[in-house]
Structure 1
Amino acid sequence: MAYNATITKLTNGLIMKRLLLTCLLLPWLTACSVLPWSSEDADEGVTPEKPLTILVINDVYRLDNLPYVRHLRASLGQSEGDVLMLHAGDFLFPSLLSQRYDGEQMVDVLNYLDGDGAAFDEHMFITFGNHEFEKGKLKHAPLLQSRITESQFAWLGTNVEFKSIEPGRQMVQADNLLPSKLITLNGVKVGVLSATTDVKGADYIRRFIPPMQAVRTTSRALRQQGAQVVIALTHLTLKEDRALLEQLGDDAPDLIAGGHEHDRQSVQVNGRRIVKADADAMSAAVVRLDAANPKQSSVTFVDLPGKYSPDAGVVARINQWDARFAEGFCGEKGESNACLTQVLGKTAVDLIAEELTIRRFETNLGNWLADTARTSFADQGAQIAFLNAGGMRLNQNIPAGELNRRHLDTLFAYPTRLAMIRLSGAQLQAVVNHAITDWTGNGRWLQVSGFAFKHNPATGTAEQLSLITPQGLRPIQADETLLAVTNDYLLDASGDQDGYRMLGENLIVAPDQPRLELKDKVLEALQQAGSAGIAPRVEGRVCNVSKPGVCLLK
């Protein structure tokens, strides 16, 4: 991979936007009272002379920023002694390389975050995110087992109970897969435990112990064993994390280092802190705790790369994986190893795909993808389209210029098969209402085509749902019937559907019709655009009442 000026410029250009968007648009959030307002300024708090230092990352699907995480960790270690390195889950899947290596490349590179890929890292812990169970059939248990045993760090699975092969032997088990751990850092006894969401299960999992029960029991046990500080490494929603601190009293962990949301969070509940960093290690959270009084803490969000140079050893490892992937991927197509840089089309404008934006607002890339989906069924009468932003996995903006195969294959980490459904105006309103719930950058947010609405974050409402027609906008009636295009993930009730349980395959107009693949239709659209390229824009389909900008609705 190339650590060039373009990537650095794009990454650094997101720094202030990430900080400001949340708190300018959501000033009532508790997080805004504690977020630092410069990339390396800690919020107020008592920092002891020798604090306990914790470095947190979460939801890392790409390797790009891990060399900077290594440099940051090394720098902290030089000045602050032992540093507890925590990853709050979601990393094995999905990504372009994981389509071929099933997360092996992620584990291998993470093994180098202590500077030695062959030595076990006693101070690094990871927990399961829902994406660790992407390969969820019984036959995939050995695959997860392999990823764990390849890891030169510990996995925490406090509330994940795997099925047994025989008494005393589970389908997934390893010496470095632990229910909890008591370690000593800078002379402080620290207990670590975990809690993972049950939003995605697997056939080899017997059950998820309710997080409240698992955290209460394990936290109490760790304190009885002498833990001075207890840290929960979680992959839960912010609401679930808050509930742990609100309801567990003295059994609550002193710190929750979390994931699942993809944007930074720093919230205090009853004096204890919840911290989450930005996805893909675009930031890391550095937490400092006073072991004598753990409620006295500070958090610093460090934007990466920032002032940090990439660690040469980690870069070398990533380059090896990239070269191996290019050789295999391109070789299967009978092409040179440079096939991933093959130009597929052009864009005349910057395309906005960074997650904090595409999972919260209308974007020009989202509009173009939704428009492409809708027009793919225009001859069948499709009026509207909606796609969940969680299926758009690029998480970086693309500058005006060439679009290559790596862009496209990274954007579509999952198959995105399209179907046309018939639904009522009332059902569409329910869909939109779900899209705006827990508006913190979730994958359920929709990019839309053919309709518009107003989103009021303060009231949590979606209003003035309107159809865009050649004659202009008109209100959508609850009892009218609409033809909509969406992706089959939102229709497949055997999965989690991103919570869109009001949808289903029973709504498909032509269930026997072969499904179109959105990636194929996007490639066709790029080719049709020719040398002029595409030039999508934000039109005001989704009007955020707290954010100035174009709006189709009055």
Structure 2
Amino acid sequence: MTTSPPGVHRAASTGLPRPTTVPAAGGRRVSPRPVAVLIALSAAIAGCSPRDAIRSPGEDAATVGTVTLLAINDVYRIEGVDGGTVGGLARVRSLRQDLERDHPELLLLHAGDFLYPSLLSDTYDGAQMVDLMNRLDGDPGGFDARMVVTFGNHEFEKQRLAQASLLEERIRESQFTWLGSDLEWATGEDGAAAVEAPNLVRSTTIESNGLRVGIFSVSTDERHPEYVERFSDRALVTRRLSQALRDAGADLVIALTHLPAPEDLALMEATALDGPDLVIGGHEHARTAEQSTDGRWLLKADADARSATLVRLTLRADGSVDTLHEFLDLGPAVEPDADAAQRTRWWLDRHQAEYCAERDEGAGCLDVVVGTTSVRLLAEENHIRRFETNLGNWVADRARELFPDAEVALINAGSLRLNQDIPAGPIRVRVLEELFAYPNKLVALTVDAATLRAALLRSVENWTGSGAFLQVSGIAFRFDPQATGDQRVRDITLLDRGAPLREGDEVTVVTWDFLHGGGDDYTMWTEIAPRTLDLDFAQHIRQLLESQDEPIAPTVEGRICNLSEATALEPCLAMPRDQR
């Protein structure tokens, strides 16, 4: 499995082979898959606008039709990141409007995770996000028939049965289609589903450029709220709905998923002959372009609309499908849509006024400076969810020092929700509130060597920007992304002892109660009795920063020593075998 590097996928200069056809199975029409797939030239390199970059080179006699779609996933902030200069829904609106000049029947897909978590959603439960998404077609009051979304795990942040009505309210407010193909909703005594709305369906078919595009969804069961009876078998749902959509006349079938990439690929392999033509996914927060063994694409954009995925699907007369894709960066060069930007500002100003009033603090309290840093603190998710970072070290150190007997602290990067670096200079209240989005409590556990090793192996199990990746304190180890199984982690060293971790060792580890309870699949220690610290960690960090006379200046020390080519020569605190 390979994750596409930053940048734009480019076509080989030697030319591209034609797609081949996978034969139908069981007499059922199957949309054949290409073995070789066309890949787009960068708009920036070509010196043209994004909408020019994906124009057809000319009509092919063998072409039945072409569909163009734009996709985003895992967007938590209406305003974007990096001080609003990157991402944000006003830029998505601008990009969509630009593309629609040449592709008026463009489809817009969102692969889940947008209602939560965010600082604004703590107050508005995602109402601000739905409001801005309703404006992505320029008509906030009209239904957007070409926009389709699905459920990510964070749509289920509110998990109690009594909170089902809140999710239903957000869905009913939405002027677009929601897909819940694999969700079996709990029912009440009257037989009514706990969540239902006219725009919540199992699948949908949209006509675009003369082709009928069938879309269904698959969502992760990482969070299982009380109002969802069950998550249906993924492979079964995929086969049945792919067939049902094709039987109903769909020319192309797309799966809109919110799953870890390895699970997406496993699903694609399990449904090779009777699955979708394309998978548009979410859950990973870094742009991803993977192919199944039969040539179908799995595509995901960067989180928080740092980028969007632009795709063109061309159906050929022989039944094969060409897939052309490109990642479009939504940075400062993309001018935000004025109306959407104004509405974003309205929500931000409203929230700050209400936040400060509720806490009896002065106007603009979220912009108050609480500390300073003399170095850039790395919190952007492509870094903090894959590598040791100076911010991760600093947070883990602060957690460990709260338990005097603790030797190790393990903090999952998914709990540090900023997704943008903190520049050298002032640290404001808003940054801390966004960084610590969850009210997690710290716990201390006494674990054996096998349990600690299992936790580190879980951390690097899915090295594609997963929130399960750990930032650590008091421990160092080497990690080989190319290895498999237990060989991915080696040379585990307890830094206070100055010694390697040995069989029979017992270690006091500090972590979140979320991880102790099995969150992010850290199930290895759920039966170990914890010591819980009843402390608001975010408030503790604020008070700590306010008490500092000097700026903080954490560094990357070599606690997590990645053996990939780019970082293998960096300093490492883990003790190699020949020094033990």
Query: TM-score normalized by structure 1?
Result: 0.89
Please say if residues 162 and 204 of structure 1, whose CA atoms lie closer than 8 Å, have aligned partners that are also in contact.
yes
Q: 2:558 is matched with which residue?
A: 540
Alignment partner for residue 385 of structure 1, among 409, 433, 436? Answer: 409
Q: How far apart are 1:211 and its partner, in Å?
A: 1.3
Q: 3-state DSSP class of the match of 1:164?
A: coil
Q: Select the structure that is richer in helix.
A: 1
Give the Cα–Cα distance (whole angstroms) in 2 for the partners of residues 228 and 272 of structure 1.
16
Instruction: Give the CA deviation at 1:192.
Output: 0.9
Indicate conservation of the 8 Å contact 2:38/2:323, yes or no: no
**RMSD (Å) for aligned C-alpha atoms:** 2.2
* Counterpart position of 1:24: none
| % identical aligned pairs | 44
Deviation (angstroms), 1:48: 6.3
- Give 2:448's aligned amino acid: S
Structure 1 segment 7-26 matched on structure 2, within 5 A: 18-19=6-7
| Structure 2, unaligned runs of 5 or more | 9-36, 60-64, 81-87
CA distance in 2, matches of 1:246, 1:404: 47
Paired residues of 1:39 and 1:301 also in contact (CA < 8 A)? no
How many Å separate the matches in 2 of 1:19 and 1:368? 31
Cα offset for 1:109? 0.6
1:80 to 86, 98, 103: 103
Paired residue for 2:537, among 518, 524, 531?
518
Q: Aligned with 1:427: secondary structure? A: helix
Amino acid in structure 2 at the alignment position of 1:480: D
For structure 1, which runs of at least 5 residues remain unmatched after alignment?
1-15, 21-32
User: Match of 1:320, SS?
Assistant: helix
Match of 2:288 in 1: 265
2:29 paired residue number: none
| 1:333 to partner: Cα distance | 1.7
Partner in structure 1 of residue 466 of structure 2? 442
CA-CA distance at 1:46 after TM superposition: 8.6
Which residue is 1:427 aligned to?
A: 451
2:360 aligned counterpart, secondary structure: coil
The answer to whether 1:277 aligns with 2:277 is no
1:371 aligns to 2:397 (yes or no): yes
What secondary structure does 1:79 align onto?
coil
Distance change (3 Å), C-alpha of 1:47 and 1:482: farther
Q: In the TM superposition, what is the alpha-carbon distance from 1:45 to its structure 2 partner?
A: 12
State the AA in 2 paired with 1:492: G
Q: Is the 8 A contact 1:467 1:473 kept in 2?
A: yes
- For residue 205 of structure 1, what is the amino acid of its counterpart? V
Residue among 521, 526, 531 paired with 1:499: 521
Write the letter of the residue equivalent to 1:102. Answer: D
User: Which residue is equivalent to 1:466?
Assistant: 493
The answer to whether the aligner puts 1:528 opposite 2:557 as a matched pair is no
Q: How big is the shift at 1:250?
A: 3.5
Residues of 1 paired with 2:139 and 2:179: CA distance? 21
Contact 2:69 2:310 in 1 (8 A): yes
In the TM superposition, what whole-angstrom CA distance separates every residue of 1:27-84 from its partner, at most 9, and x where no partner exists? xxxxxx9987857569999976463111010011111211111111111110122111
Distance in 1 between residues matched to 2:139 and 2:451, nearest whole Å: 54
Question: Within the alignment, does 1:336 sit opposite 2:362 as a pair?
Answer: yes
Deviation at 1:376, TM superposition (A): 1.4
Deviation at 1:427, TM superposition (A): 1.2
The whole-number CA distance in structure 2 between the counterparts of 1:97 and 1:159 is: 29
Shift of 1:298: 0.9
One-letter amino acid of the structure 1 residue matched with residue 119 of structure 2? L
1:80 partner SS: coil
Q: CA deviation at 1:167?
A: 5.5
For 1:552, the aligned partner's letter is: L
The one-letter code matched in structure 2 to 1:59 is D
Q: Per-residue deviation at 1:539?
A: 0.2
What is residue 23 of structure 2 aligned with on the other side? none
User: Residue in 2 aligned with 1:476?
Assistant: 501
Checking the alignment, whether the CA contact within 8 Å between 1:88 and 1:126 is kept in structure 2 is: yes
Structure 1 distance, partners of 2:7, 2:453, is 31
Q: Which amino acid aligns with 1:464?
A: D
Distance between the aligned counterparts of 2:234 and 2:194, measured in 1?
22
Which whole-Å CA distance do the structure 1 matches of 2:356 and 2:145 have between them? 38
* 2:511 alignment partner in structure 1: 486
**Deviation of the 1:272 alpha carbon:** 1.6
Q: Secondary structure at the match of 2:433?
A: helix
Equivalent residue of 1:212, what SS?
helix
CA distance in structure 1 between the partners assigned to 2:107 and 2:410 by the alignment = 42
1:296 matched to 2:322? The reply is yes
What is the TM-score when the length of structure 2 is the normalising length?
0.85
| Contact persistence 1:433–1:462 (CA under 8 A) | yes
Q: How far 1:245 sits from its partner (Å)?
A: 2.4
Answer yes or no: is the 8 Å Cα contact 2:517–2:523 preserved in 1.
no
Contact 1:34 1:266 in 2 (8 A): no
> How big is the shift at 1:150?
0.2
The equivalent residue for 1:359 is 385
